[in-house]
Structure 1
Amino acid sequence: MPAQNFPPDRQDPACIPELGTLMKDTSRDRIGEFRGLAGPHWSLRPICGGPEWEVEPEHVRPADPIERLQAQNARCNARSRGEVL
């Protein structure tokens, strides 16, 4: 499902994060980069690469500082191993 660049009627545009913001999906206990809107859902992409997933906005919050640090460290480690990101 392609991401759209405009919010559905029930989402406040001021609450939508900037592209690339690290977010925590509390329903899956995963960190991902915000990639855009997919209808009423938000699209997140794993920090070390992989397919995007969709999540309801009420299950997403900004990653706290330690979660951001862990995610950035995981990305650096994946790059050093030569994994495709």
Structure 2
Amino acid sequence: MNSERRQVAPGETRLPLGELAHDVRQDRRGIVMGHQDGFVWLRPEGGGTERAVLPADVRPLHVRERAEPLLRTRIARANARSRGEVL
């Protein structure tokens, strides 16, 4: 995939390859794999098929949003430990 094929419109910010982003239209997260044919190509975090998303529908994730899934897992484990459950 050629990541330099499309020119960036004035005022548009191009997310870097490998950046974790949020598709606001589908409410899904993904890794930026490329910019081609007027779309941003996102791949699911755990792997899978890339999907084309309009640049206006993609925004970078903030540090707090990136950490949420990990934080939830750690909290669940701590709660289970406090209840005497084995994980």
User: Residue in 1 aligned with 2:64?
Assistant: 66
Matches for 1:1-85 after TM superposition, within 5 Å = 3-11=1-9, 15-70=13-68, 73=70
User: For residues 5 and 24 of structure 2, what CA distance do their matches in structure 1 show?
Assistant: 21
Distance 1:50 1:70, change over 3 A: farther
User: For residues 59 and 32 of structure 2, what CA distance do their matches in structure 1 show?
Assistant: 11
User: For residues 56 and 11 of structure 1, what CA distance do their matches in structure 2 show?
Assistant: 13
Q: 1:31 corresponds to which letter in structure 2?
A: R
Structure 1, unpaired ranges of 5+: 74-85
Higher relative contact order (CA 8 A, sep 6+): 1
Structure 2, unpaired ranges of 5+: 71-87
| Superposed displacement of residue 15, structure 1 | 1.8
Paired residues, what number? 69
Q: 1:8 corresponds to which letter in structure 2?
A: R
Larger Rg: 2
Runs of 4+ with >4 A deviation: none
2:35 and 2:41 in contact (8 A); partners too:
yes
TM-score, normalisation: structure 2: 0.67
User: For residues 19 and 4 of structure 2, what CA distance do their matches in structure 1 show?
Assistant: 17
Identity of aligned pairs, percent? 30
User: For residues 23 and 67 of structure 1, what CA distance do their matches in structure 2 show?
Assistant: 10
TM-score, normalisation: structure 1: 0.68
User: For residues 65 and 10 of structure 1, what CA distance do their matches in structure 2 show?
Assistant: 25
